[in-house]
Amino acid sequence: MQLIKNIHILTVFLSLGGFILRWIWVMQDSPRLQQRWVRIAPHVNDTVLLIAAITLAVNIHQYPFVDGWLTAKVLALLVYIGLGMATIRHGKSKQQRIITGLAAILVFVYMLGVAKTRHAFLFF
Ligand code: HEM
């Protein structure tokens, strides 16, 4: 199960790295964003991330909408995805993309905190 956990953590950081890279490219109006692999790779990575996540949850018999910390992670992931889409795809201005991008990173750090502490409310 350590292997699955390592895959989960690897794909988690690939997701963050891929997001930051695309964020930089969108700020630079770079044509690199249109490359085929840049459009496909995030979906492949997210699929592996989620399969590993579900496997881990089943392994420790803890589930979203049953256990608070996993519920918090899933909800935060949805917010992270929304902010990511706002930053890369739908942002109306660069200023807006900076704000949503920073917010996405904050949510990501929150998810790392939830994963480490197994607690939705990190500071209580
Ligand atoms: C929403 C889908 C997710 C689910 C269901 C999920 C589930 C899990 C589970 C059950 C574990 C514990 C594994 C164990 O201790 O045996 C775990 C570990 C971990 N998750 Fe997730 N995860 C999800 C998404 C994420 C995301 C988006 C991140 C990063 C932002 C993340 C970061 C981590 C990290 C860093 C660990 C290792 C914590 C440690 O050191 O023990 N997970 N995840």
Cα-Cα-Cα-Cα torsion 83, 89, 92, 98, nearest 10 degrees, comes to 50
Tell me, what's the pLDDT at 119?
95
Predicted TM-score (pTM) of the model is 0.92
Q: Is the CB of 12 under 6 A from ligand 1?
A: yes
Average pLDDT over the chain, rounded to an integer: 96
72 lines ligand 1 (CB under 6 A): no
pLDDT at 72: 98
Tokens representing 74? Answer: 């899933």
Task: Determine contact, residues 69/119, Cβ cutoff 8 Å.
Answer: yes
Looking from the CA of residue 74, the nearest atom of ligand 1 is 1
Q: Is 53 in the pocket of ligand 1 (CB under 6 A)?
A: yes
Closest ligand 1 atom, residue 56 Cα: 10
Torsion over CA: 112, 118, 120, 124 (sign): negative
**Residues in the chain where the model's pLDDT stays below 50:** none
| Residue 44 amino acid letter | V
107 in ligand 1 pocket by Cβ < 6 Å?
no
Closest among 82, 108, 92, 114 to 20, alpha carbons compared:
108
Binning the chain into helix, strand and coil, the percentages to the nearest 5 are 80, 0, 20
Amino acid identity, residue 13? F
pLDDT of residue 124: 67
Q: What is the pLDDT of residue 123?
A: 72
C-alpha count within 13 angstroms, C-beta hemisphere, residue 122: 12
